[in-house]
Chain A
Amino acid sequence: MQAMVSVNHLTRKFGEFTAVDDLSFVVPTGEVIGFLGPNGAGKSTTMKMITGFLTPTSGRVEVCGADIEVNPKASKKQIGYLPEGAPMYGDMTTERFLRFIGQVRGFSGAELTRRVDAAMARIELDEVRHQTIETLSKGFKRRVGLAQAILHDPPVLVLDEPTDGLDPNQKHQVRSLISDIAHDKAIIISTHILEEVDAVCSRALIIDRGRLLADGTPRELETRAEGHNAVELVVAVEHQQQVSSSLQAVDNILRIEEEPLDGDRVALRLLPNTGIDLLASVNQLITEQALPVEQVHQLRGRLEQLFRQLTQSSSAQAVNAGGQS
């Protein structure tokens, strides 16, 4: 797999404020990278530098082997970009706007018409073909922005919050579009919707305060979340005392969370120490002591949990650091 986008030690400062701090990663063809992070984490700033809109304070971006600073025009040809908020020329109609983008991308005549029609068909924009963009709904605007990004079938797509403002059906449509075209492209999307990462991304990068905090497939990241491999036991309230005291015998339990359920039952969630699988020992205990346990589940870690773990601890650190300085 060839690296289509490679980001090396990218840093961007705005005065004293460091928006992106020594970020490095590589995106090969066929991968959909999900950029995750709280608002202001540096997602958009990074995308602006990858697409050549902002100049990095230090570090390099290569798109298809060409440095965007050295050869911006060649790099920009390889990229389809949906900027944050999908800004466009509001006074143009959808069709005129897409034709303008197509012309700048070097198409003309029948080929231009074919490209514009194909993009409009793909994103279902035919009904707003002759409407001016400023009169479109937020969802349609976003989709016109997507249409201009895929018009020239670029090998690299950079989409800043592509599903923001779309309804659930449109979100689904955009996600399937991304999955459909992903096989021969390198795609970077930013989002703060975690389910989107599960739905479309082959890899997720969690960033906060401009730094990369985690990088892996959604599955890998889930295993790093607190509560991954937790074992949940459902017991009747009257047996809770008995079961809890028996569980004292099991090693490697970090802590036990309780959650009352309907019908006088309670869920006991056993959080393991990192990297330990409790299921076997808990099962053994239940069989040996014939504990009155109704159900046993093993839980997967949740991306959301990891996201909160990482981004909240990083902001706590930053606050501490700020206090000391």
Chain B
Amino acid sequence: MNNLGVIFKRELASYFLTPLAYIFIVIFLFLNGIFTFYLGQFFERGQADLQPFFEFHPYLYLILIPPVAMRLWAEERKSGSIELLMTLPVSLSEVVLGKFLAAWCFTAVALLGTFPVWLTVSYLGEPDHGIIVAGYLGSLLMAGAYLAIGSCMSALTKNQVVAFVLSVVVCFLFIVSGFPIVLDFFSAWAPALIVNTVASLSFLTHFDAIVQGVIDLKDIIYFASLIGFWLFANAVIVELKKA
């Protein structure tokens, strides 16, 4: 897997070769600030924690993660460089993982940029730092799941806009599957097992648990298997397009 590192480095560097990376990071931090301080009423709550900060991440990621992932494969297909890449002595898993990890690492950099929020809350009160670390971990895991979906959707098309729209739709389904609007539809006729399964597919159920500070293995496994599943689908799609 020594080529994994080479692919990863090239992909990560390519984010910073265009203004996209900087624009993305600025917008990410800006929106985080708005959500936390205005909508989340960070100050008015009078509590020393980052709940209002993490609470909006699922929705923020819905809009901001697909643009990070949409270029991963669609751009290669559009420019034809996929032909060069796939005829180099690299395995498919090295390419899929390298691209995904680069996107994930880039997202982690953007997320790290939010550390002043942590400083603020530490200055104002005495937060439970363990819960905050858990929140960051959960947020990063969830971002990984969004990225894996986005990467898979990007492999379907050479058009980045199509890739973006598809990712938003699929990610949206994974958010709302925990909402009454979806669950009511199932609970009217389906047995409880199915309703619970659908509900347990939601990002929110698992993310909220982690953000509360409860790092349960099943939530970690949920995100890890989601990432694994979508990256596997990603590889299958790339392989199918070859034949």
Which residues of chain A have a CB within 8 Å of any CB of chain B?
A: 48, 51-55, 73-74, 76-77, 79, 81, 83-85, 87-92, 96, 100-101, 103-106, 148
Contact = CB atoms under 8 A, between A and B. Distances in A.
A100 B11 CA distance: 11
B87 A92 contact: no
Contacts of A103: 3, 6
16 contacts: A48-B83, A51-B87, A53-B242, A55-B243, A73-B89, A73-B90, A74-B89, A76-B87, A79-B87, A83-B84, A87-B79, A87-B80, A88-B81, A100-B10, A104-B7, A105-B88
A180 to B, nearest CB: 24
B6 A81 contact: no
A148 B87 CA distance: 12
Contacts of A100: 6, 10
Given A87-B79, A91-B14, A92-B14, A81 B87 contact: yes
Given A89-B14, A91-B14, A104 B88 contact: yes
B151 to A, nearest CB: 18
A104 B17 contact: no
Nearest to A102: B6
A104 B87 CA distance: 11
A51 B87 CA distance: 6
Contacts of B6: 100, 103-104
Given A103-B3, A104-B6, 15 more contacts: A48-B83, A52-B87, A53-B87, A53-B242, A54-B242, A54-B243, A55-B242, A73-B89, A76-B88, A76-B89, A87-B82, A91-B14, A104-B89, A104-B90, A105-B89
Contacts, number: 67
Interface in B62-95: 79-84, 86-91
A197 to B, nearest CB: 24
Interface string B1-45: 011001100100110011000000000000000000000000000
Nearest to B78: A87
Nearest to B91: A73
Nearest to A160: B83
State which size class the interface on B falls in.
20 to 34
Q: Is chain A's binding surface mostly helix, strand, loop or mixed?
A: loop
Nearest to B18: A91
Contacts of A74: 89
Nearest to B86: A53
Contacts of B3: 103-104
Contacts of A81: 84, 87
B85 to A, nearest CB: 9
A71 to B, nearest CB: 11
Nearest to B81: A87
A81 B82 CA distance: 13
A87 B80 CA distance: 5
A104 B11 CA distance: 13
A85 B82 CA distance: 13
Nearest to B2: A106
Contacts of A52: 86-87
B16 to A, nearest CB: 10
Nearest to A97: B10
Contacts of A106: 2, 89
A104 B14 CA distance: 16
